[in-house]
Amino acid sequence: MALFIQLTAAALVPLTPLSDTARGYASEASAENTRRAYRAAWADFAEWCEAAGHVPLPAAPEVVGSFLAARASTHKAASLTMRLVAIGQAHRLAGHRLDTKHPAIRETMKGIRRRHGTAPAKKAAADVVVLRDRALLLVGFAGALRRSELVALDLADIRFVAEGMVLTLRRRKTDQEGRGTEVAIPFGQAERTCPVLTLRAWLEAARLTSGPVFVSVNRGGAIGTARLSPIDVAWVVKAAVEAAGGNPADFAGHSLRSGFITSAARAGVAERHIQNQSGHRSLPVLRGYIRRGSLFVDNAAAKVGL
C-alpha cells in the first residue's frame, strides 16, 4: 500500500494555483456529503486559527499539529484524520503543499491514536481488515489487474513458487474464451511492500483454504465467505489515499492498474514488458498510460538550463 501511495503521490501536487473555474470543477469531483464534511472541517480549522492568531492558508505544519492536539479531547482519531485531509485538500486547491508527513503532524497523530485509541477488540478487527486491504492493493498493483480480475481470484488460482507467485486469471477482458492467463508477481524489495509475503500473511490470518481470496470481514473481525465486489476495490483504494493525506476523488479501482503502468514507465521498463504484465492488446491505449507516466523522463525542458 505504501509503495502504491508513494508512486502516485506526485499526481496530487499541482504546479500552479487553480483558477476559480478549475477550482469549481475540482470541487465537483467529490460526493456532496464528502464536500459538506470537508467544508465543515475546514471551517473548524479556520476558526481555530483565527482565535489562536495563526494563518490558516498556507498553514505551517506546527500549526496543523497544534490544531489536531487541541481537538483530540473532543474528537475521535478518524474525525481528526478527515480534518487533516480537508486541510490538505484546501491547500492543494489554493496551490500550496501541506506536508502531512511532517513530524509535527505525523507524531502528533501517532500520539493521539496511542492515547485515545479504540478498544482492543475493535483494534484487532481493524488489523485484519488492514491486512486484507494491504494484500488487495499490493497484488492488484503488482499484477496490473483490473478490479474485476482482482476480486475474481480464488485460492486455486494462486501458485507460490521460488521467485514469488503466479496468478491464473480465468477470464480477462482480452481472453473472452476463458483459456486463462498467467501473471507472475515476484517478491518485493521490502517485506512491508512485498505483495507475495503480504498475501501469504492475509491467507494465514484469515485461515482460507479454498474459495475466494478477498472476502468480507465483519465489525467483530470475523472472516466471511462473501467475495468482495469490484466497487469494494474502489473503496479500499480511496481509503488508502485518504489515509495518506491525498484526495480520494482522484483515485478509483482502476488506479491500481493504471498506476502500475505509469510507474513502470517512469522506471524505464520496456513497453513489451509492461504489456506482458498488463495484458493490453491495444498498444495505443497502453502507450497513452506510458506517455503520461513518462512526461518528466528525459524531459527536454529540464535540459535547457531554466
Domain extent, residue 43, equals 15-115
121-155 tens-digit pLDDT: 445 556 788 899 999 999 988 888 888 899 999 99
- Give residue-wise pLDDT tens across range 54-88: 999 999 999 999 999 998 888 887 778 888 888 98
Known active-site residue 173: yes
- Of the pLDDT bands very low, low, confident and very high (cuts 50, 70, 90), residue 244 is confident
Which listed residue (91, 147, 172, 289) is catalytic? 289
CA-closest candidate to residue 277, choices 149, 144, 161, 175: 144
Catalytic residue among 173, 192, 273, 291: 173
Task: Choose the final residue of a domain: 63, 97, 115.
Answer: 115
The residue ranking higher by pLDDT, 222 or 292, is 222
Domain co-membership, 186 together with 262: no
Domain total in the chain: 3
Cβ atoms of 87 and 98 closer than 8 Å: yes
Counting residues of the chain whose pLDDT is more than 90, the rounded percentage is 19
- Domain match, 42 and 127 both: no
> Could you tell me if 82 and 130 lie in one domain?
no
Claim to verify: residue 173 and residue 216 sit in the same structural domain: yes
Catalytic residue, from 35, 200, 254, 266: name it: 254
Q: Where are the alpha helices (DSSP H) in the chain?
A: 2-8, 20-27, 32-52, 61-71, 77-93, 103-115, 120-142, 147-151, 195-206, 230-243, 255-266, 271-278, 283-293
What pLDDT shows up at residue 46? 92
pLDDT digit string (tens) for 3-40? Answer: 444 433 333 333 344 455 544 544 444 445 566 778 88
Collect all residues with Cβ–Cβ distance below 8 Å to 273 and sequence separation of at least 6.
264
Does residue 302 lie within any of the structural domains? no
- Where does residue 175 rank: exposed (0-12), middle (13-18), buried (19+ CB within 10 A)? middle
280 catalytic? Reply is: yes
Cis amide linkage into residue 58, ω under 30° from 0: yes
Grid cell for residue 230: 469490484
Same domain, 171 and 233: yes
Average pLDDT of the chain is 77
Q: Are residues 124 and 243 in the same domain?
A: yes
Is 211 domain-assigned? yes
Distance, CA of 166 to CA of 158 (rounded, Å): 6
The CATH number for 124's domain is 1.10.443.10
Q: Are residues 101 and 131 in the same domain?
A: no
Active site residue 289: yes
Q: Of these residues, 146, 147, 172, 238, which one is catalytic?
A: 146
- Per-residue pLDDT band for 191 (boundaries 50, 70, 90) equals confident
Give, in order, the Cα–Cα distances in Å from 89 to each of 76, 98, 148, 248: 20, 9, 30, 10
| Residue 296 pLDDT greater than 70, yes or no | no
Whether 92 and 145 map to the same domain: the answer is: no
Under DSSP, the state recorded for 218 is: -
Spatial neighbors of 163 by CB under 8 A, at least 6 apart, are 184, 186, 187
The contacts of residue 184 (CB under 8 Å, 6+ apart) are 163, 164, 165, 166, 167
Residue with the larger pLDDT of the pair 270 and 7 = 270
**Which one from 83, 134, 238, 280 is the annotated catalytic residue?**
280
Task: Indicate if 146 belongs to the active site.
Answer: yes
Each residue of 213-243: pLDDT tens digit?
999 988 777 888 899 998 998 888 888 888 8
**Would you put residue 144 in left (φ > 0), alpha (ψ -120 to 50) or beta?**
left
- Which of the residues 75, 132, 172, 257 is marked catalytic? 257
